[in-house]
Structure 1
């Protein structure tokens, strides 16, 4: 029998509005599922049950009173541990902040709660979100729901695992080099990197740099769109803030896949990609190709992406962690130390060159997308690896240039400022989920969501490409 926690966010929101279920019983269902599988996977690391239960009762009362309800009214949600939550322990996965309890929510947390969502707790991350293996010295590792001995991706790993196992119907995430997309791909859920500024960030360290965004995660595209409609906005706290209608994002028009011009690339022309992932991607495109008007195997113009991303990423780490490195270096993990040492090795000239390089790359990619409606690529370059391994050092026998070089498929698209979504696409040869990146046109977030929803429906008709689900009984 289907449990409440297993229903889609969109279905649950409709049922709450129609008084068919209570937010109180929905929260109880999610709590039972969390109690059943979280001890094995470590997706949630901190809870605020007393407050959540009070908010669920208040949400129930508001429904019964017949007042207006927010887009996420009564829906339990997981909050990424790198996001500041007022009154709730927020460690960023670092011993430096092990006892940190902020006074106020940052903007995205305030936005989901303001839309009626009930925050049940914080989801696990790598230390300060650095890396794509969700493990840190405060809470330890989070396992993949399809194989707990493997990584779940990161940095929004706890959020992805919580969604994949139906602990909550929605979760927050953020993305610099794939932190929404990689864990979504590894866990069989949806993670969207929106256009920079669509979701205003109140803690954006460098206001005019676009590589870091916050965004939605859901179990399907419609749920992800619903959440995006609640967190998008016009808040001028972010210099890149978007000026549009957030509510419209949740209403997805029908898209005919047969009218789409599609570009495909297994490596985006520059990224190292495991041979097994290439084969799986080739099989996916063979299964899908007939659904589109045209399919061109043509890599985008992303030459120089590695160097550009390394410098821009270093600038962000320097702004965010200089004091940590100076005063608490002994409390930092190897990824943070590597980032800071790399940052100190760059010059002002390097920074200027990287900024100009990204601008040139952006314009070249803009012209490339004039010929296509979407670009398809794998989400991750390697299958999930053992949780004890922080990162891969080689792909196909070739040594990687940094601990995050294996994320080139994700960060290459980061640099384009185009919206990208990762959707589930069956399993790879290792028996873990395979994620498909779908990149849309500049500022085409709404259109991208509609295309992804149509593609998702088509994938469900192909047994080998349908969204995989973990064995909950085996995880209990």
Structure 2
């Protein structure tokens, strides 16, 4: 049980109340430095809820909901001053499922404004700082969740992923993050539920076991949404090796900061020693075409979601430049351009399907650079190559995102700079259990989150 795992890590008795007390002590000890958790509930209320914790697979487990999702009774700021203080009147579906499974919602995890950009900073709650160097970025948009996991404030956490938001921050925090097969975890019931298939909710955790147990709770069809994919059962996950196709920098298309590829390749060598077969693969599709398809469909989706805010001049003035850029790009697109982008997406899906006849998973880094200065807006160049958009430095995540494939970020170790990086393992549609099984085999061989924790104060030492 996850509650027992938390208790062992925090040197606590394995009861919901004792675990909550230890969790709150850990939050007091470390959250002030990293600013990962926000909108926290009162300790008295949380301890009272822990004393009456309901039964279920997540019984008594403390969780913090990413501040893009609704948790009844807590603010949903989305990192925007336009919504600061807005209190949710009901849970989003996956949040309701977590509560029904016995989880105790302690507050929210920090995120960039509207989740745009893989750097967790916003004008409402400020910046979340990297667990391994607080002067650096935590990534994003699930940066608060990743840092809360890395620093031992949480065992599991929800997140969401359009452009690597469950993978990049996990890689920069030495924990696990999973983008499930699109449709496995239902999204929001409001707005477009048919056409926009880029973003998904999913689990993050300190272990693959935690990923599986949270995904089982989050997953399952919603009769009010059209793309459900059935249930996920944690019991279907078995430790396994497999044949991994290493794509590296996609044949030179993705600029990489020095040391990123070397660290990932060292991890792949360790995987070989653990029984995995690793083969190098040539770039399977034109990277330029993938990027053109991605920025078209992403801008089109963002414009649809945030367009009403842009239409109000006062609200528009409060939007971050990235949001305005996306909305204006999306609104300038023609139907023919959107169709052409989706044709590229379809062609890539067909090509990728064939790759999984050769390998069980494709491997790529979780990011193209190391964590950058927390005061930067975004990287403007990598390895001498200028980044022409606020998110171009995350191009390496779009092969999975564009076509809804499952992808799991596993810790890949540390560079000579002492900073962590992750590997994405990308599988065929519906291979979620197999991917978690491979992550579990890797976890048993390395135990990275516990083997190399961040050097921060703990509740025991505070």
Q: TM-score range by the shorter chain?
A: over 0.9
State the 1:407 CA deviation.
0.7
Contact 1:79 1:122 in 2 (8 A): yes
SS in 2 for 1:295: strand
Residues 192-219 of structure 1, C-alpha deviations (whole Å, 9 max, x = no match) = 0000111111346432332100000100
Structure 2 partner of 1:199: 185
Is 1:271 matched with 2:254?
yes
State the alpha-carbon separation in 1 of the partners of residues 189 and 360 from structure 2: 33
Contact 2:300 2:331 in 1 (8 A): no
Residues 418-456 of structure 1, C-alpha deviations (whole Å, 9 max, x = no match) = 211001122123211111111122201111111111122
Structure 2 partner of 1:122: 108
Residues 106-162 of structure 1, C-alpha deviations (whole Å, 9 max, x = no match) = 111111111100000001000000001100011110100100000001000001111
Matches within 5 A, 1:316-395: 316-327=301-312, 328-395=315-382
Tell me the TM-score normalized by structure 1: 0.90
SS in 2 for 1:216: strand
CA RMSD of aligned residues (A): 2.2
Contact 1:261 1:292 in 2 (8 A): no
State the 1:356 CA deviation.
1.4
State the alpha-carbon separation in 2 of the partners of residues 168 and 428 from structure 1: 25
Structure 2 partner of 1:153: 139
Residues 9-30 of structure 1, C-alpha deviations (whole Å, 9 max, x = no match) = 3634899xxx962211111111
Q: Quick check: which one's helix share is greater?
A: 1
- In the alignment, structure 2 segments of 5+ residues that lack a partner are none
- The structure 1 residue matched to 2:26, chosen from 14, 33, 43, is 33
Residues 80-129 of structure 1, C-alpha deviations (whole Å, 9 max, x = no match) = 00011111111000000012012111111111111100000001000000
State the alpha-carbon separation in 2 of the partners of residues 467 and 305 from structure 1: 37
Structure 1 partner of 2:222: 235
SS in 1 for 2:98: helix
Structure 1 range deviating more: 140-149 or 435-444: 435-444
Contact 2:300 2:327 in 1 (8 A): no
C-alpha distance 372-467 of structure 1, shift in aligned 2 (>3 A): farther
Contact 2:171 2:409 in 1 (8 A): yes
State the 1:268 CA deviation.
3.1
Is 1:185 matched with 2:167?
no
SS in 2 for 1:187: coil
Contact 2:185 2:220 in 1 (8 A): yes
C-alpha distance 442-127 of structure 1, shift in aligned 2 (>3 A): same
- In the alignment, structure 1 segments of 5+ residues that lack a partner are 1-7, 63-68
Structure 1 partner of 2:14: 21
Matches within 5 A, 1:363-442: 363-442=350-429
Is 1:95 matched with 2:88?
no
Structure 1 range deviating more: 230-239 or 385-394: 230-239
- Count of aligned positions: 450
Structure 2 partner of 1:65: none
State the 1:242 CA deviation.
1.3
- The structure 2 residue matched to 1:58, chosen from 28, 52, 57, is 52
Structure 2 partner of 1:286: 269
Contact 2:64 2:106 in 1 (8 A): yes
Structure 1 range deviating more: 200-209 or 312-321: 200-209
Structure 2 partner of 1:4: none
SS in 2 for 1:443: coil
C-alpha distance 408-188 of structure 1, shift in aligned 2 (>3 A): same
Structure 2 partner of 1:5: none
Give every structure 1 segment of 4 or more consecutive aligned residues whose post-TM-superposition deviation is greater than 6 Å. none
Tell me the TM-score normalized by structure 2: 0.92
Structure 2 partner of 1:297: 280
